[in-house]
Amino acid sequence: AAAIALRHVSRRYANGVQALADVSLQAAPGAFVSLLGPSGCGKSTVLRLLAGLDAPSSGQVQRPADGVGYVFQDPTLMPWASVEANVRLPLRLRHAPRAAADAAVREALQAVGLADFARALPRELSGGMRMRASIARAMVTRPSLLLLDEPFAALDEITRFRLNQELLGLWQRDAFTALFVTHSVYEAVFLSQRVVVMGARPGRVVREITVDAPYPRD
């Protein structure tokens, strides 16, 4: 069975914009799928539907029952709170027990290489480090699905390359399903087993490309 799926999904907004028209796509559990296409083709709408933040006008959305991790291009960290407090936020919202939360936060910071920056404020970090904190926050609840909306688009090439490698490492280790929105063909092919290409007006799937799995899990 698929981990996530859209089946004949359409989404028309109240202003009449047809963001998605009869879109079907799916990802197997643990797959890394990229979503590629021009601005306005409905990529963010697909992610919002899968996060449960929006509902289709017609068609079916299959999404995980447990939590979903969401990473945006803007890390949206609370500027007054330490890195560790930012990463802890999803656990606080769930009232996770203190000891378990401490361990999960430590583990998440370790995973993204920010263990030594737990007490730092976001403004004291580089752009790449802020993105790592944002990824740690998305993963601290161990979601089975990670949604990423052009997460690295604002970063310089070198940082972007390193974050792509790190993201692959996390995916290989933690076995979550990933749906990664990007404008970069390079990034899509580097990261994914499958690339779903969308077109605009109305938003639809125009092509699916299978990439020979270059990074199988152990």
Residues that bind ligand ADP (CB under 6 A): 13-15, 17, 19, 37, 39-45, 203
Give alpha helix (H) positions in the chain. Answer: 43-51, 83-93, 98-111, 127-139, 157-174, 185-191
Dihedral of CA 49/104/124/172: which sign?
A: negative
Query: Residue 101 or residue 178: which is nearer to ligand ADP going by CB?
Result: 178
Query: Residue 49 or residue 83: which is nearer to ligand ADP going by CB?
Result: 49
Q: 31 phi and psi, to 5 degrees?
A: -80, 155
Query: Residue 19 or residue 114: which is nearer to ligand ADP going by CB?
Result: 19
Query: Residue 37 or residue 90: which is nearer to ligand ADP going by CB?
Result: 37
The span from the CA of 40 to the CA of 163, in Å, is 25
Report residue 30 as tokens: 């643990």
Give min distance, CB of 134 to ligand ADP, in A.
18
Give min distance, CB of 193 to ligand ADP, in A.
21
Please choose, from the candidates 48, 52, 132, the residue with its C-alpha nearest in 3D space to the C-alpha of residue 87: 132
The span from the CA of 44 to the CA of 52, in Å, is 12
First to last CA, the chain: 21
The span from the CA of 48 to the CA of 130, in Å, is 23
Give min distance, CB of 43 to ligand ADP, in A.
4
Query: Residue 15 or residue 99: which is nearer to ligand ADP going by CB?
Result: 15
Query: Residue 45 or residue 141: which is nearer to ligand ADP going by CB?
Result: 45
Give min distance, CB of 63 to ligand ADP, in A.
17
Contact residues for 100 (Cβ-Cβ < 8 A; gap 6+): 91
Give min distance, CB of 185 to ligand ADP, in A.
15
Give min distance, CB of 198 to ligand ADP, in A.
7
